[in-house]
A and B are shown apart, each in its own frame.
Chain A
C-alpha cells in the first residue's frame, strides 16, 4: 500500500509554514511516548512523514521526508553543515592571521558577514540535546523546561515585546528579543538533514522581502539558466534532492508541496516539478499555493478611481496580476490538486473568533495558522485504523483516493477552510453518560469540566420525568436534541453550523448562501474533524461523526460528494507554536463561555447560548441569520471576557499555552472557482495587454506565444466549469 508522503517547500514563506508544520508533526510524534496519550497518538502513522535510520551507535534518528528550497541567508544563524563547529573554528583561526586552509598555500583573505545570532529557542534546544535527562533530578528538569518555554515565548514578536516590557518596565528592550523569530530555523525543532536544505543564490532580508519577491519571473535570469551560469544546475540539484527523498520511500504515495508561487520561487518550483512529474508518474502532488495575508484585497483596486497612480504602483500591480495567472496556469498543470492559501488579513475577524492574539502582519503567526490547517486537512491520508478508547479513526483514506475525490470536481482546484479551535460538538445524553464512565478517561479530559457535566446530567435527569425534554424525544431527529443539548449544557461554545469555518482560500467563501445567489456550489468536500470535544470532554469518533453529519444535513446544498474523517487525536501544539488563542480557550481547546473562573457558575455564558438557542428553536430550523447572531453573541462574549479577565476562564494561567485543540477542516472543490478563475483571467487580460504588463513579461522571458498559451489555458479552465454546469444539473 503506498504510504510515504514527501513534503517540498519552495520559498521563504513556505519555509515558515513548513517549519511550523514539522513542529506539529514532531509534537504529535512525541505524544506517542507520553503516558495516557500513546493510544491516541498511535492513530497517526508517523512513518508516512518521517524516515528513520539507525545511527552508528544503534540510536534511531528520525528525519522528516522533506526538502526546503530557500534563498541563501534565509536560514539565519543556523548552520546546516554537519561540522559547523569545526568550520567556525577554522574561520576564527583564519581571522586571527593563521592560514587555516589546508588546500591553499598562499594568502587568505577573510570576508566575514556580520554573524547572525541564533534564536534563544534554537540554542536552548541544542543545549538540551546534550543533556542527559535521565540523570537530572526533577527540579533541574523542570528548570530546564522552563528555560525552553521562556525561549519559545521570545519567538513570538508580540509576546516577546510584552515580556520585555514587563521585565524592564517599558524601556530598553533588547531589539533581538523583540524581533521574535526572523528565520524559519529559529523555531524549527525537527532535525533537518543538511542535504535537504537547498540554498538558492540571491539575497534575503525577510520571508516576503528577498531577491525573488518580484513576481513569478524573478527567477528567470539567475535560477533557470536565462542569464547562464549555474542556473540549470540549481534545478538539477533540486530534482536530485527529490530523488534522494523518494529513494528512501518503500512505496511513495505522493508529494505535498508548499510554494510561494506568486514569487520567483514559483518559476523555480515549476522547473523542478516538471521533472518530478516525469520521474514519478502516477504519484499525486498536492500543491499549496501560499500567498500573503493581503492577497484578500488583491482583487480590489489599490487606488480609487481618479487618483493618480505612480508607475511603480502600476508595475507592482501588473506584476502581481501576471504572477497570479502564470502561477495558476503552470502550477495547476503540474499539480494534481492546487490549493491557494492565505491567512485571514483581519485580526479578530468573525472568521477566527477565538484567536485574539493573532496578528496578520506577522509571518510567524500566519504561517502557524496555515501549517495547522494543512496538517489537519491532510490528516486522513496519514491515519492508521488503530482502536482507541474513543473509538477508531473513521474515514481513513489515502492521498490517491483523496485526490480522486476532489480533483475532477473543480478542475483540480480546491479551497481549504478551517475551524481552529473547533468549538464543542452538540452532545446527546447518551454521549454524556458515556463520558462519565470512569473507565474512559482520556488524557485531555479536564476533570473540572467533567464534574460540571455530571451536575448537568443530574439536572437533566431530574427534569426529564417532568416532561421538559419531551419535544426532543418526540421529534426524534437530531436537531431539536442538539438545541436542547446546547441550552442545558452550554458551558462551552458550540459548533452550530459549518459557517464557522474560516476560509483560507482567498475569494472562496465556501458558504451555502452564495450558492443561492448563484455564486457557486460545492461539488466535492473532504472534512477532517480531529480531537472533537463536547461540553463533557473528548468525544468518541462515532459520535463526532454523527454530530458532523447532522450539521451537514442542515446544509442547504446537498448535492455533493463528501468524505468525512474523524479521529480522536487532537492537534497537539508544540512550544514554538505562537499562543494565538484568546484566554477563553482552555488547556485542551474547550472554548469556555463563562466569564467567571473555572468551576463556579456558568452564568452569563449560559445566558448567551440560551438566548441564541432559543432563537434557533423558535425560528425556522437552520435559519442562517439566527445562527449568525449566536456566533456574534458568543464572539462578543469572548471579546468581553478577553478585555475583562486577566486570567482566562479557560482555566489557563496567563503564561500557560494551549496544549491541544480540536480542529475541523474542509477541503472543498466548488464551482465558486469558476468566478475565481474568471477574475484571474480578467486581470491577466488587463495586465498582459497594458504596456507596463508587457514590459514585465518581457523581463520575465515570457514571450508573446507563451502569453497566448496562458490565455488559452485560463480559457480552458473556465471552460471546464461551464461545461460541467451545462452537463450536470443534478
Chain B
C-alpha cells in the first residue's frame, strides 16, 4: 500500500536532510506506528505520502502509484485515497459536526444524496450520533478528534495517516481515539500513526517504525515504543556508520523499566464490542519491553549502502 525506497528529503540546500535513505513497505490493512523524537522526520514522511512535499531522492509509492510521477492535476485524486488526522484537529469552527464532515464530501463534488446518507453513518461509526448539530467549540477534545477522524474517513480512504492524533488528549481519551483508529483499521483501512504516546504503542503491540534524525532505525513487528536492547544495539551500529553518533544512543537509554501501560481496557465509555481489539494486550499490560526481545527483528534499515546517497 505504501512503499518507500531510499527516500531522502532535504529542505533547502545544505543542512541535514529531514529524511535520509528511508526504505520501508507497508501492506494493505496494516496498522503501523511511526515513532521518534521531535524533528526526527515523522511529519515529513507523512507529508511525502500526500505529496505536500516531494522526495529529494528515492521512490515514494502510495496505492501502487509513484507519487512523484502523478500529474499535478491528479494529486487531488491521490489525496482522496489518503485520509489525514492531526494533533490540532483542524476543524472549521463555523460549521457544525455534520457540516465539518460533509465539507470533505462537498468540496470533492459528491452528490447531495450521497452526503446526506454517508455523513450520519460515519458519525455513528465514531460515536457522535446525537451531536451532529454541535459546533466544535462545544465539544471535548476527544469528541473534536472524533469529528476529525470522521472527516478523514468519510471518503473511505485506503490509507489513514494520523499525525500525533492523541497529542492534545488525556490518557483515557487517547485510548478511546486509539480504539477508534483500531476499528477503522479492522475494517480494512491501512493506518499509519505518528505518535509520542509510549503507553499506546506499548499497549497495542503493532508494527513500529522508528525514525531518528531522519533515519529509519527500527522496523519491528509487534514492537513497543522503545527499542528492545538487541535491536537497538544493531541499529546503533548501523546508524553510527552514516550519521553523527550523537543521535542514536538516546533511544537505547530509555528502554528498560518502562512505566506500566495505562489501563486501556478499563476505560469507561469504550463500548463492549471493542473488546477484541483491546483484549490482545490486556494480559500483558505492563510487560517490560526488554522481555519481548528480538521478536521479528526486521533490522535497521538505514544501511550504509542505501543511505549514503
Q: Do A and B come from one complex?
A: no
Q: Contact residues of A with B, CB < 8 Å?
A: none
Q: Name B's A-contacting residues (CB within 8 A).
A: none
